[in-house]
Amino acid sequence: MSLPPNRRGLPVLPIELLLEIIDSFAQVSPATPVQVLYRYPTPEKYLERRSVIGALSQTCRALRGRLLPVLWRDLQAFASDAHVFAKSWRGGWREWRKNVTKELTRQCEIVTFRSPDVAQYVETVTVALTDFATDAMSLFVHTLTRLPNLKTLHIVHLAYDCFTMLNVFGKWKFLTVKTMVLPLVPLSAGALLRSCPNVEHFVCGGRSTGAHSRRMESSFLGMLQDAFPNLRSLRGLDISDADDMTSLLTRCPRLEHLCILVRSTTDNVSDGADQTGSYPAVIAPLRNLQNLRSARIEFQITDIDFIVASLRAIKPMLKGPVPPKEERLEVRLPPNLEETAHDRLRKYIDHP
């Protein structure tokens, strides 16, 4: 006997109100720091939202129909809330990583085999590929091929020895992916990057173990510019070398946002025409960039005059409208300058 539809309580609330309630829980985004997502014990804060939506969708048919698309908008397997039985922290950490991979497998099986109708809702995939994920990679990639509306591929963590794991991407193309979040993994990520040639927004979500040298960063930047000719924003990877900057802008002329790191005052140029004084050579190539609208610049120096000259040089290079909640020029100073130099630098930072 079929039950009459529930016409009272939560099921009859406007979907906008339901979403407002749901959005009060912490959401995972490309900007969420990896340190708060891939962590043992599990970061419950970032699992609550999906858990609540899942529970509500099981209460009645009305809510299931309205919330299922919301639940599966983001396929998430970056952590596990399964109970861990271990005598030591190290044993628990190992078991937790296994559970994360089990969760990845479970989510992929649901979307691919058990309930393939939900695949159409998935726009974001947020996963951690641990050292136990090798056997799950074929299923994971197969799942990605079944997601017609996938826009964001957010890989929270990659096992450092991941070359074999990522090679499985070699024969696939995911043309709908526009945003990618990935740790810095030199020499290992080539197949993955090339599988998403239409990426426009890339976020470097931290460093994998061992990826710490400037040479590694330069190699990774080279792979990015080769893989993503349509790149419009590059975040999380600071560019400090003028040659790297020139190469990037040559291959990716549509860039609208990037990050700059000024390490010293020695590698500089000067332009007598605009009287800005000497400023970092890494900034100079930006003059030829037509679409640059915003930038993040971090200084590891304490020379105020050089910092002022740098900001005076870069300010007129930033053109066009800035999206809401985005700063046109984000400036990071050494801690000892944060208070003392702020007033002098304010007119350069507060861009109209």
Q: Give me the pLDDT at residue 239, please.
A: 93
Q: Pairing mode, if any, of strands 257-262 and 179-184?
A: unpaired
Q: Give me the pLDDT at residue 352, please.
A: 43
Q: Give me the pLDDT at residue 209, please.
A: 45
Is-contact 201 233, C-beta < 8 A?
Answer: yes
pLDDT band at residue 232, thresholds of 50, 70 and 90? very high
Is-contact 217 194, C-beta < 8 A?
Answer: no
Of the candidates 79, 20, 68, the one whose C-alpha atom is nearest the C-alpha of residue 44 is 79
Structural domains in the chain, sorted by start: 26-237 (3.80.10), 238-352 (no CATH)
Is-contact 167 143, C-beta < 8 A?
Answer: no
Interval 214-225: pLDDT, tens: 677 888 899 999
Q: CA–CA separation, 127 vs 156, rounded Å?
A: 6
Q: Please tell me the pTM assigned to this model.
A: 0.89
Residue 56 has pLDDT above 70, yes or no: yes
User: Mean pLDDT lowest for which of 187-191, 334-338, 348-352?
Assistant: 348-352
User: Mean pLDDT lowest for which of 118-132, 206-220, 283-297?
Assistant: 206-220
Q: Give me the pLDDT at residue 350, please.
A: 54
Q: Pairing mode, if any, of strands 268-270 and 257-262?
A: unpaired
- Locate 42 and state its tokens: 């599990």
- Locate 187 and state its tokens: 């020499």
Characterize 75-110 residue by residue with b for buried, 16 or more Cβ atoms within 10 angstroms of its Cβ, and e for exposed. Answer: bbbbbbeeebeeeeeeeeebbbbbbbbebbbebbeb
Interval 313-327: pLDDT, tens: 999 999 888 888 888
Q: CA–CA separation, 225 vs 5, rounded Å?
A: 54
Q: How many CB atoms lie within 10 A of CB 132?
A: 16
